[in-house]
Amino acid sequence: MIARRTLTVFSLLFALFAGQTLQQAAAVEVETSGDIQYYTLTNQQGLKVKLTNFGAIIMSIMVPDRNGKLGDVALGYDNMASYLNAVDKPYFGAIVGRYGNRIAKGKFVIAGSEYSLAINNPPNSLHGGVIGFDKVVWTGKVADEGEAVVLSYLSKDGEEGYPGNLNCQVTYTLTDDNEIVVDYLATTDKATPINLTQHTYFNLKGEGNGNILGHQLMLNANRYTPVNETLIPTGKTPEVQGTPFDFTKPKAIGKDINKENEQLTFGGGYDHNWVLDKGGKTGELTLAAKVYEPTTGRQLEISTTEPGIQFYCGNFLDGRLKGKSGKPYVHRGGFCLETQHFPDSPNQPSFPSTILQPEDEYVSQTVFKFSAK
């Protein structure tokens, strides 16, 4: 049985009273089915985002192209059964945690105690373990102001081998400037690694419409963190200049992807973390990436407070999974740009720390801004 609730009128009234008619006046529609809620946020420009409290997953993002035609640019499914039963679960649209990306051999030490995680990506731990934050039911509510959805999850001490009760909150806000703002907040009662990220696979041509190799990517990063053959960083942060990893100026994703390069071999293509150029603004919101798709004119700009970004170009997609429109998700049929701290930081003393202490708060923000030209 599905109950429906529309907050359109409320949120518009709020926006008028707050004098913010053109800032944040997205309407939120809620559907409930058992423990699962689906939230559809619609802004004044017609951009529509559908998400669920299962895995804090973004299920679809309807974005206008240069002619105003809406297309769904996020890979995924239109029903819960597919998220639960798909043979392969590539983290479509989810929040990954407690630790996004890899921890070498699933081990780390905090204050002399060694912790062991499940090796779910041999020989390493990936994306929080067997049941990471992408596979749990979050508690969802529409924000009091009516334009955002707040999702909370308590990860208990010892869950997936991690120390400390970790209280997490992820807020998705849709603005009338066509931005999806993702705010992360967490506290713990024991020191623990934390690295939350958003794992949407984008295809700005529309999900299922072939590969993303023609998209032009700019990464605001002069350095990256090369990896070993198991995708664990070596600890070095060389310059990208003169390598296929140079995206400092917009470049088609496919341009250098088949070049002879050990790092591309290890990743099966791009599956690496770039060190963002923060221009001295560590911890502040700065531009991380820009992607432009020439045939539709759609553009995505990503800003973040995080120091790194994982650019993964769907190397493990192989056409077996079919998405919501029934079209196969072909090799490199979507790309992820996961804002984050660097992979394996708990074992890499030279990387910015990912250990959250009980007296501190984990605060992070990433903004996905869509446009067309």
Question: Which residues are annotated as part of the binding site for beta-D-galactose?
Answer: 101-102, 199-201, 271
Which residue's CB comes closest to ligand BGC? 90
Q: Which residues of 253-283 are buried (b: 16+ CB within 10 A; e: fewer)?
A: beebbeeeeebbebbebbbbbbbbbbeeeee
Specify the residue, 66 or 324, whose C-beta has the smaller distance to ligand BGC. 324
Q: Check if the beta carbon of residue 170 is closer than 8 Å to that of residue 155.
A: no
Interface with ligand BGC includes 247 (CB under 6 A)?
A: no
Specify the residue, 7 or 275, whose C-beta has the smaller distance to ligand BGC. 275
State the minimum distance, in angstroms, from the CB of residue 230 to ligand BGC.
10
Specify the residue, 248 or 315, whose C-beta has the smaller distance to ligand BGC. 315
Kindly identify the residues of this chain, within the stretch 174-193, that bind ligand BGC according to CB under 6 A: none
Three-state DSSP at 80 gives helix
Active-site position among 159, 179, 199, 293: 199
Contacting range for ligand BGC; rule: CB under 6 A; set: 181-189, 210-218, 238-246, 310-318:
310-318
Binding-site member from 40, 60, 299, 310 for ligand BGC (CB under 6 A): 310
Residue ranges for the known binding site are 101-102, 199-201, 271
Q: Check if the beta carbon of residue 289 is closer than 8 Å to that of residue 366.
A: no
Interface with ligand BGC includes 90 (CB under 6 A)?
A: yes
State the minimum distance, in angstroms, from the CB of residue 201 to ligand BGC.
8
Dist CA 117 CA 108 (whole Å): 9
State the minimum distance, in angstroms, from the CB of residue 190 to ligand BGC.
26
Q: Check if the beta carbon of residue 324 is closer than 8 Å to that of residue 57.
A: no
Site map 196..235 versus ligand BGC, x via CB under 6 A: -----------------------------------x----
Q: Check if the beta carbon of residue 283 is closer than 8 Å to that of residue 242.
A: no
What does 133-168 look like in DSSP terms, one character per residue? GGGSBPEEEE-TTSSEEEEEEEE-TTGGG--S-EEE
Dist CA 321 CA 314 (whole Å): 12
- Greatest CA separation for the chain: 59
* C-alpha gyration radius of the chain: 20
Locate the DSSP E strands across 56-103.
Answer: 58-64, 70-72, 95-96, 102-103
Dist CA 62 CA 315 (whole Å): 24
Contacting range for ligand BGC; rule: CB under 6 A; set: 57-65, 162-170, 308-316, 323-331:
308-316
Specify the residue, 42 or 273, whose C-beta has the smaller distance to ligand BGC. 273
Q: Which two tokens stand for residue 344?
A: 């394996």
Binding-site member from 274, 312, 329, 370 for ligand BGC (CB under 6 A): 312
State the minimum distance, in angstroms, from the CB of residue 332 to ligand BGC.
12
Active-site annotation holds for 262: no
Binding-site member from 147, 271, 301, 306 for ligand BGC (CB under 6 A): 271
Binding-site member from 79, 156, 281, 316 for ligand BGC (CB under 6 A): 316
Active-site annotation holds for 199: yes
Q: Which two tokens stand for residue 352?
A: 């910015």
Contacting range for ligand BGC; rule: CB under 6 A; set: 108-116, 299-307, 309-317, 348-356:
309-317
What does 296-323 look like in DSSP terms, one character per residue? T-EEEEEEESSSEEEEE--TT--S--B-
Dist CA 308 CA 167 (whole Å): 23
Interface with ligand BGC includes 338 (CB under 6 A)?
A: yes
Active-site position among 272, 293, 338, 341: 338
Which residues carry out catalysis? 199, 338
List contacts with ligand BGC (CB under 6 A).
90-91, 101, 231, 271, 310, 312, 316, 336, 338
